[in-house]
Structure 1
Amino acid sequence: MRHTPHFLMTDVAEVRRLIAASPWATIVSHTDAGLVASHYPVLLDTTAGGDDEIVLVSHVGRPDEVAHELGQHEVLVVFQGPHGYVSPAWYPPEQFVPTWNHVTAHCWGTPEILSDDENFRVLGELVDHFEQRMPEPVSLDVDQETARRIALGTVGIRIRVTRFDARAKLSQNKAPEVVERIIAGLRGDGPYASPALGDEMARAHAVRVTGREAQGPRRRFRADAPAADRP
């Protein structure tokens, strides 16, 4: 991703929060046949690693494990949180260049292939994770025999993330009053409404203001700031 110093997200806890909130991920492999990309739900593995680590579990449908050459090399897993267009209509008149705000994490690691039993456990946790919001959650335990037979068409993976590159680009280079207008616009009913992005901005700026209060006034965006710091 583009190197934008004050948009960098380096806190492991924040990256874990993004993954937990946005589990639909893109898995990218550089194979002998070229680049391969697939899309699957990915969860944090609560049975491995500590709070200062990122360990992922997921599955792929056969024959994706062959296409990705899983276990033979590093893969890139991309998580995309809330994102959306930011119109200059929400800026002062002299600021007329729009931007796109987003929260994104790129995670790298080499997949470990799970046993059939562990894969079935992970699949069960995946179903339970999403079903918990339903009025009457459905579990794979309804018919384990059938579920296990279907599970044979999948390959479970665990990825211990060795490095990540994450961004929270949420108008940190704008004055507080401009940020408030952007949040209001995103939470409104206009063509570029995105309440989730508005909430993410509100959260990020509340933390930013609290964290800076003891350090003095907020740093403002300057017209001569480096290009990497601009929208």
Structure 2
Amino acid sequence: MYIPDLYKNENQIEIEQFLTNNGFAILINQTNGRSWGTHTPLVLEKTIDGKSILTGHISKENPQAENFKEGEEILAIFNGPHSYISSSWYDHENVPTWNYIAVHVYGKLRLLSFDETIESLKKLVNKYEKNEENPVKVENLSAKTMLQARGIVAFEIEITEVQAKRKLSQNRDDKNHQNIINHLENSQDHDSINIASEMKKDRS
């Protein structure tokens, strides 16, 4: 990902929180000679020896899974809020742009055993069920339902490189920066309001 220094994020704690909060990713590799992407939830974890990994799964019927190779490099793209920025909000002539937050994660693929797959499913389900009134537990599902676990390929990605970008009008002076925030906050769009909030953090 192209990241000018002005927009580069190297705050490790902030990046990890972003990956945790925005876990629905696009998984990309080479499949049958073409770039292939799958939308799938990934969970950020730490191994016993302190390495950062992502865990997840996709359908066995997905051609991407059929082409998975142990140790191959794979890319996961995580998107956060984003919003169009109109240059009519500036006090001078300029071009429109787009503000956004995104993280690209590169890593080495390892396929999981069936037992490891079940543990991975437990962590994923627990993460997203924790706020439910009657949370689902993988260990409470029937044997018939759990047969579906035979239809997936689970994996972990040992993270080798992280590219994190926060493009939030850092190149604007305080007056125009605030003008942009004001317009975004007056929007009915959830992403625009979130971008405004992130812009405030950068100048706080």
Superposition TM-score, scaled by structure 2 size = 0.88
1:149-173 Cα deviation digits (max 9, x unpaired): 1111111111111112221111111
Of the three residues 82, 95, 98, the one matched with 2:96 is 98
- Deviation at 1:7? 0.5
In the comparison of the two structures, how many residue pairs are matched?
A: 203
**Cα distance in 1 between the residues matched to 2:37 and 2:23:** 16
| Structure 1 unpaired stretches of 5+ | 207-231
2:36 matches 1:36:
yes
TM-score between the two structures when normalised by the length of structure 1: 0.79
Contact 2:81/2:100 (<8 A) preserved = yes
Match of 2:57 among 56, 59, 71: 59
Matched residues in 2 for 1:192 and 1:128: separation? 26
| TM-aligned CA deviation for residue 6 of structure 1 | 0.9
Partner letter of residue 24 of structure 1? Answer: F
1:83 aligns with 82
Q: Structure 1 residues 187 and 148, CA, compared in 2 at 3 Å: closer, same or farther?
A: same
The answer for the alignment partner of 1:157 in structure 2 is: 155
More off after superposition, 83-92 vs 138-147: 138-147
Pair 1:194 & 2:192 matched: yes
Corresponding residue of 1:227: none
The alpha-carbon distance between structure 1 residues 192 and 148, as it changes in their structure 2 partners (threshold 3 A), is: closer
Do the aligned partners of residues 186 and 122 (structure 1) sit closer, same or farther apart at CA in structure 2, a change above 3 Å counting? same
Aligned to 1:9: 9
Task: Give 2:120's match in structure 1, choosing from 122, 129, 134.
Answer: 122
Paired residues of 1:56 and 1:159 also in contact (CA < 8 A)? yes
Which amino acid in structure 2 is aligned with residue 71 of structure 1?
E
Identity %: 27
Summarize the Cα distance change of 1:136–1:23 in structure 2 as closer, same or farther, 3 Å threshold.
same
Q: Tell me which moved more, 134-143 or 162-171.
A: 134-143
Partner Cα separation in structure 1 for residue 81 and residue 154 of structure 2: 27
* In structure 1, C-alpha distance between the alignment counterparts of 2:190 and 2:45, rounded to whole Å: 35
User: Cα offset for 1:62?
Assistant: 0.8
Q: Which runs of 5 or more residues in structure 2 are unaligned?
A: none
Identify the structure with the greater strand proportion. 2
Residues 54-92 of structure 1 show CA distances to partners (whole Å, capped at 9, x for unaligned) of 311111111335444242521111111111111123221
* One-letter identity of the residue aligned with 2:122: G
Deviations 1:36-59 (A, max 9, x none): 111100110144553xx5311111
| 2:36 partner amino acid | V
Once the two structures are TM-superposed, the CA of residue 187 in structure 1 deviates from its matched residue by 2.1
Quote the RMSD (CA, aligned, Å): 2.2
Cα offset for 1:147? Answer: 4.1
- Between the aligned partners of 1:6 and 1:151, the Cα distance in structure 2 is 44
Deviation at 1:144, TM superposition (A): 4.5
